[in-house]
Amino acid sequence: MFSLRKIEIFAEQYPKSKFTLVLVISFIAFIFFNIYLGIMYENTGYPVPLIEGQTRFSAELLKSDFSVLIDKNTLSDYTLIQYLDAGIMISTAVFFTMLSLYLSRRIRITKWKRKLIAVSILFPLSSFFDLAENIFLLQMVYNPEEFPGWLAIFYSSSAVLKLFTFFIGLLSIVVIHILYNLSARKEANNGG
């Protein structure tokens, strides 16, 4: 059974050396896949920036984008990127989840520790939305001129949810640390 308490116990008991190793490896993978796939994306000649393409919400615009890739003979490269994106999904989920759990170990006030542990769930959720986005996108690129319009809506919705959960997670880590530090200082100044 899933529970925040189990995640908290894991975060407290997982050896620091293993935490560090997992953080370093997943960070390197995260950077590598983002740079490599970013270069691959640019080389396809996709007509708009990545986030704009992901949030089109329009079958007609996406079909137009795909026609550019067909004309440039890079649609297969673009399709390959969607499979390789699994590296970003996995490294994002692992790195940012483990980072938030690692940081939670440094927090001594229980309510802030638990909030940070709860935030750690957002990163695998973001990767899940990334997977859904890729599934919808692959359905579209396999039939780039004839796919139904609802696929574009589901594709872009998944992209927005991916970005939203990821950035809320990042923002939450920062805000929780700021509030924790303010709370800890206040407690220290009050002698307790």
Residue boundaries of the structural domains of the chain: 4-189
55 CB-contact burial (10 Å; exposed 0-12 / middle 13-18 / buried 19+): middle
Q: What is the pLDDT, as a whole number, of residue 156?
A: 98
Amino acid at 111: K
Residues (pLDDT < 50) of the chain are none
| pLDDT recorded at residue 1 | 60
Q: Identify the pLDDT of residue 27.
A: 98
pTM above 0.85, yes or no: yes
Helices (H) then strands (E): counts for the chain:
8, 0
pLDDT at position 91, please? 97
Amino acid 184: pLDDT: 87
